[in-house]
């Protein structure tokens, strides 16, 4: 009888701790790309008509150099989920550019979880800036993934920002 009471008391205490844990506010951006990339209105971002079936591609917020941000589909690579995102097609070299790639995995009840994030930056670089994020696959079940890309170029002291997402969700098992 004493053991049963202790067991129920421990479960009740854990439940109270979990239920009383502070929730992150909607404005809390810690651990996300928002703390790396400057805040801006994304209403000017529009799809580029030259979009391919392999990746989502958009012009970066009307920048004068024609730089475009892209995010490819999440795919299996060497037993890991992998996504590429970045900046390409600039006619001239921006003074500064930064790109981030994020892998999101579908969870229970329609919630998405960040599996991986990686970023890269460059100064006065005309070549394509490619970022690869990889996440270890921890099980053999089928999982659903989506890739997100974050893109910022600085031209003449002005930041131009865009976000992209893979054109479709992909589903695969890590052992396939």
Is the model's pLDDT at 103 over the cut of 80? yes
Structural domains of the chain in order of their starting residue, each with its CATH number: 41-173 (2.60.40)
pLDDT at 170: 92
* Residue 24 to residue 130: CA distance in whole angstroms: 31
Task: Give the angle subtended at the CA of 111 by the CAs of 41 and 131, to the nearest 5°.
Answer: 55
Q: Are strands 80-88 and 68-72 parallel, antiparallel or unpaired?
A: antiparallel
Q: In this structure, which long-range contacts are made by residues 42-46, counting pairs with CB atoms below 8 Å and at least 24 apart in sequence?
A: 42/161, 42/162, 42/163, 45/162, 45/163
pTM across the whole model: 0.68
Span 45-66, pLDDT tens digits = 333 333 333 467 788 888 999 9
Is the model's pLDDT at 151 over the cut of 90? yes
Is the model's pLDDT at 31 over the cut of 50? no
Within a 10 A sphere around the Cβ of 151, how many other Cβ atoms? 30
* Residue 164 to residue 86: CA distance in whole angstroms: 10
pLDDT at 142: 86
pLDDT at 93: 95
Strand-pairing partners, residue 82, are 75, 134
Inter-residue contact 11 to 19 (CB < 8 Å): no
């Amino acid at each position: 009888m004493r053991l049963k009471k202790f067991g129920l008391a421990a479960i009740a205490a854990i439940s109270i701790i979990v239920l009383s844990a502070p929730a992150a506010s909607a404005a809390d951006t810690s651990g996300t790309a928002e703390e790396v990339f400057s805040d801006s209105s994304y209403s000017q971002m529009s799809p580029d008509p030259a979009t391919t079936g392999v990746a989502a591609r958009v012009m970066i917020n009307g920048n004068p150099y024609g730089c475009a941000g892209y995010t490819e589909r999440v795919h299996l690579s060497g037993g890991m989920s992998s996504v590429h995102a970045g900046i390409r097609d600039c006619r001239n070299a921006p003074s500064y550019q930064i790109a981030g790639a994020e892998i999101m995995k579908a969870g229970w009840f329609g919630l998405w979880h960040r599996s991986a994030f990686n970023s890269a930056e460059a100064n006065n670089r005309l070549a394509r800036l490619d970022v690869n994020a990889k996440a270890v696959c921890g099980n053999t079940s089928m999982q659903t993934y989506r890739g997100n890309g974050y893109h910022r170029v600085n031209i003449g002291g002005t930041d131009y920002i865009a976000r992209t997402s893979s054109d479709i969700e992909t589903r695969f098992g890590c052992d396939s």
